Structure 1
């Protein structure tokens, strides 16, 4: 369940996306800061999940938390589709020119 959810969401894509979004001159810092943010968010989810489940009861808490994460995943998909562009078959230089 978890592996399929992670692989089909932005969880696996975010690291590839980070490497393509930043210009060469700041790429290492951008990827480091983005990776740090991803791990902070992952840690927050890990610690908050039991709190949410406990606050709403086992039956409703699990359903509520998965519904919330599903809505956030779909919202993220549409936000990424709106503000990011396809980078396949583009060189890093072409991506940099497009980002300016």
Structure 2
């Protein structure tokens, strides 16, 4: 039996290999994130869109806060905007 990929005018069966792309990643990385946390400042009634230019102004600079660090880490890895919902501390009245 002769096997060839080019049959041209020949009589026979032509077979094309199937390329399995089901496990390939199509996205380069994260494009969005949502984080719930406790921050120095910010809204508690609605999510905020946080990016590199407004993180300190919207959330208050707090590098020792693990919630703030999580937002900063997301932005540092290339996520353009992180949706942040601030939850209030116990005993703190909602604004």
Larger RCO of the pair (alpha carbons < 8 Å, separation 6+): 2
Normalising by the residue count of structure 1, what TM-score does the alignment of the two structures yield?
0.25
- Between Structure 1 and Structure 2, the one with more helix by share is 1
- Between Structure 1 and Structure 2, the one with more strand by share is 2
Normalising by the residue count of structure 2, what TM-score does the alignment of the two structures yield?
0.26
